[in-house]
Amino acid sequence: MAIIRACVEKMTGYTPGEAAGNPRTVKLNQNENRYPPSPRVAEAVARALGGLNLYPDSASRRLRRAAADLYGVAEESVMATNGSDEMLLLLFRCCCSPGDEAAGFRPGYAYYATLAAMNDVRYRPIDFEGEFHLPERLDPGRAKLVFLANPNSPTGTLFPESEIRRLLDAVPEGLVVIDEAYADFAGQSAIPLLGEYANLAVVRTFSKGYSLAGLRVGLGFARPEILAQFEKARDFYNLDRLAQAGAEAALRDRDWLEKTTRLIVASRERTAGGVARLGLKVYASGANFIFCRLAGEARAERVFRSLREQNILVRHFGNPGVADCLRISVGTDADMDAFLIGLEKALEQS
Ligand SMILES: *Cc1c(COP(=O)(O)O)cnc(C)c1O
């Protein structure tokens, strides 16, 4: 008798970008924010330390209230989760039975396929067309869930609202999940479409724009009747007191978010210009990273290794179609200067 479910035994675990062992490493491989979070986060977390003997609010009411105010939706349309990963897991847990199908666009975030595998769901990749456009003919098949990150990772592509609407119209039987992990850098969201589309779910995170990857907080937005079901299936105390207090403080400090995202967007454009001047193809990005193409897979691999030897970590994906590309997170201006110097050297050597 097998103890482990076959779908789990067969699956390959998700491989996150490698963590840096050295504090001097220029770490540009996981799209973390290199600016600190709002100072109000530390103050709120310090205050919350006094209550650690008590259970947290299971419903994360204050955080959800702040999110509902900010995004102009009802509190019942917001759910707070332990990283956006928990929201993604709940989508599979609540919407898919074993043997069901889910779909997502390729190249895209690899974790959707990992979650599908662990829930015994078949995951069907749908290839983008040309330079990462949604296909002319959108056919979701029998997919219960269709994932699109906007802006997309690893490509950085920002899809206009008209394309999101086209996707929502093409999936009448399933739920369209717009993963807005990088939307704070793009200033565009599908949340206002919730009133019009019952088949929409939007996932946000505090890990990128708010610089709180270590706190593990995400938000999910959908119609109240959908979230009421998800609420039953989540961990009962999914967010601890520190996470709830810190995320709420971050959400309320609009000036900090605007100031730091503006700096990152300016560095992104400057870096993209520098990379293009070195002769690489750079794709337009609405996120806190750039995606560029080199002349061939072997060259991309050599440049990746050369950067790594110089203590500069970027992301190289081995997948077909993007194996000649590199994804570079946008850090501070000093990080990006170091990267551009390192890249020039790596290109000379490769
Ligand atoms: C970084 C990222 C997330 C965030 O995950 P968390 O669990 O909230 O840290 C989600 N989706 C995509 C596409 C991402 O790149």
**282 in the same domain as 232:** no
What pLDDT is recorded for position 200?
A: 98
| pTM score of the predicted model | 0.96
Mean predicted confidence (pLDDT) in 176-189: 97
**310 in the same domain as 270:** yes
C-alpha of residue 237 to centroid of ligand 1, in Å: 21
Q: How far apart, in whole angstroms, are the C-alpha atoms of residue 325 and residue 301?
A: 9
C-alpha of residue 4 to centroid of ligand 1, in Å: 28
Domain membership flag for residue 222: yes
pLDDT over 90 (residue 319): no
Termini Cα distance of the chain? 52
**Beta-sheet pairing, 289-293 with 281-282:** antiparallel
For residue 331, name the pLDDT band (cuts at 50, 70, 90). Answer: very high
Mean predicted confidence (pLDDT) in 17-45: 92
pLDDT over 90 (residue 1): no
**158 in the same domain as 101:** yes
Site residues for ligand 1, CB cut-off 6 Å: 31, 83-85, 109, 149, 153, 179, 181, 205, 207-208, 213, 218
Question: Can you give the length of the chain in residues?
Answer: 350
| C-beta neighbour count of 323 within 10 angstroms | 15
Of ligand 1's listed atoms, the one at least distance from the Cα of 30 is 1
Task: Mark out the alpha helices in 54-119 (DSSP H runs).
Answer: 61-71, 83-95, 111-118
**72 in the same domain as 203:** yes
Residue with tokens 């029998």: 142
Helix (H) or strand (E) holding 10: helix 6-10
C-alpha of residue 260 to centroid of ligand 1, in Å: 19
Beta-carbon contacts of residue 19 (< 8 Å; ≥ 6 apart): none
**287 in the same domain as 168:** no
Of ligand 1's listed atoms, the one at least distance from the Cα of 84 is 8
**173 in the same domain as 151:** yes
Cβ pair 312, 342 in contact under 8 A: yes
Partner residues linked to 282 by β-bridges:
292
Where does a domain end: 252, 273, 308? Answer: 252
C-alpha of residue 204 to centroid of ligand 1, in Å: 8
Question: Which tokens is 50 given?
Answer: 């006094």
- Domain of 330: which CATH number? 3.90.1150.10
What pLDDT is recorded for position 58?
A: 98
Domain membership flag for residue 123: yes
Which residue, by CA, sits nearest to atom 13 of ligand 1? 109
**269 in the same domain as 232:** no
- Domain of 81: which CATH number? 3.40.640.10
pLDDT over 90 (residue 52): yes
**324 in the same domain as 267:** yes
Where does a domain end: 195, 226, 252? Answer: 252
Nearest to 280 by CA among 212, 214, 218, 346: 346
Mean predicted confidence (pLDDT) in 215-237: 97
Of ligand 1's listed atoms, the one at least distance from the Cα of 85 is 7
Question: Which tokens is 234 given?
Answer: 């989540």
% of the chain with per-residue pLDDT over 70: 100
pLDDT over 80 (residue 17): no
pLDDT, averaged across the chain: 96
Partner residues linked to 78 by β-bridges:
221
Mean predicted confidence (pLDDT) in 233-251: 98
What pLDDT is recorded for position 350?
A: 83
For residue 22, name the pLDDT band (cuts at 50, 70, 90). Answer: confident
Helix (H) or strand (E) holding 101: strand 101-106
Of ligand 1's listed atoms, the one at least distance from the Cα of 208 is 1
Question: Which tokens is 242 given?
Answer: 């520190």
Which residue, by CA, sits nearest to atom 1 of ligand 1? 181
Q: How far apart, in whole angstroms, are the C-alpha atoms of residue 121 and residue 333?
A: 43
Question: Which tokens is 140 given?
Answer: 């979701």
Which residue, by CA, sits nearest to atom 12 of ligand 1? 181
Where does a domain end: 191, 222, 252? Answer: 252
What pLDDT is recorded for position 261?
A: 98
Q: Containing domain of residue 240, as a range?
A: 39-252
Beta-carbon contacts of residue 214 (< 8 Å; ≥ 6 apart): none
